[in-house]
Structure 1
Amino acid sequence: MRIDIEDLHVSYTGRTVVAGAHLIAAPGEITGLVGPNGSGKSTLLRTVYRHLRPAAGRVLLDGTDLRELSPARSARHIAALPQERGGDFELTVREVVAMGRTPYKRAFAGEDATDRDIVAQALADVGMAGHSGRRFTELSGGERQRVLLARAFAQQADVLVLDEPTNHLDIRHQVELLALLRGRRRTTLVSLHDLNAAASVCDRLHVLHDGRVVASGPPRAVLTPALLAEVFGVRAAVVEHPLTGDPLIAFDHREPAERGSAKDTPAVLEA
């Protein structure tokens, strides 16, 4: 399924956080949101999974405005891994993952064999099959992250919306997670801080700055030294990764770039 975001505006307490955003997440592609802290990435994603209501604009799922769908129907199509994790669950790992089956269950309905198989596979996919009986509150930050990702997988939605899914994960589990996302080929909208990971795993990128999408397109076209200087305020060279051939960003950690106005950065547009 395809996500289209059209002229999206989102405000908090009278302050505009996302201003006129246009972007797409194409079927089967991984679409990345990148940008500095406070650029509006999480706010935009919260609007897609309906935690927030836009002040203006629309989020379309295969051409249908999400506001026309019931919460249960929307949840069968869109699964989310928010950055805000909520309170500590006084549940076992397996019980947390089983929550992903809720959109498919009638009130007070119990699990069936299909549910059990889906939950078991989701736990195996994130490497947590051996922890199903542990309390969620006993887990490390990285383990909790993987359990919540398994919950999203168990939802078996057409679209995954993931806000910093590699947060708290060590490098091995980051690599495994990103490889897992590529292998699933679901429509995926993901925010990432790691620009090299974004360049490697994403089919297209949308760069946010001050609530606006300032560049969109394939990673190789978007992640230029000029954009990195203007939007992120860093000096960097973009070279070819010696192992994969993907764009590889080499940052100058000694000195920041001279930063101008991001409004002057030309957008790279892709249909």
Structure 2
Amino acid sequence: MPIIFRSAPVTEPYTFESIGRNWQQDRITRPGGYPFYHYLQTEKGSGRIETAAGAYILREQEGLLIAPFIRHSYEKTDSEWIVRFATFTGTAERSIPQIMGNRQVVFAGAGQGRPISRLIDDSIAIYGSHPPDGRQLSVNCYAMLIHIADSSHAVHPEEDALYRNYILPVIREIEINYPLPLTVEKLSRLVFVTPQYLTRLFHRYLNCSAYEYLTAFRIGKAKELLITARRLEIQEIARRTGFSDASHFISVFKKAVGATPLEFRRLN
């Protein structure tokens, strides 16, 4: 039952305030919320989380991120509820609301939960070395936030045939081939529907258009490169993340993030 709390000054853009796994979760009530973004994910059993933004049942590998100071409570709905968890801080902590689209609560389905579990386990292992690799922990922390942010708004979309047949194949295509010149037209042909219908389905399940999802995914990958590959030129990052040229990349990035790629790199 490893549980770690931060004991060093915050110097990295993103890091963990606390992190743990194999925790037997008791009933918790927080009328004033928690002071950090925090994420809870079921390892075994199930639990119910009540928040100011709604109620959720978390089954195995499903998780929920809750923004700071949001009223919530949770309790087990099975004979036991074993969880993983992480809370987030860092010098760039104020950018987390933007990463999450200013959502108070973000649900992560089992598909997102599996890579998040691996990141939690890997981060706990890093804390076992002396001294821990703060840079790698920051990368893991940011990767977790991106995985959570890319989660669907629907609680169980994988149970819906429309989601499985039309949305999921397109998401997988974006995740694999985002550096290529993808368009909504090409993505819609992949699943044999019109671009207009694909866009309606994306709005239904993900609250954004297919183009907005593709752009947000590329921006997320660009952020990773800006932080983890600091010697890469902006033009090369644009090319690696599917943008037609550096000028277009800078314009789209600034609109989405509120800063140019170079400003984002300096801030982080």
Q: Do they superpose with TM above 0.5?
A: no
TM-score range, shorter chain: under 0.3
TM (norm. structure 1) is: 0.26
Higher relative contact order (CA 8 A, sep 6+): 1
Which structure features the higher share of helix residues? 2
Which structure features the higher share of strand residues? 1
TM (norm. structure 2) is: 0.26
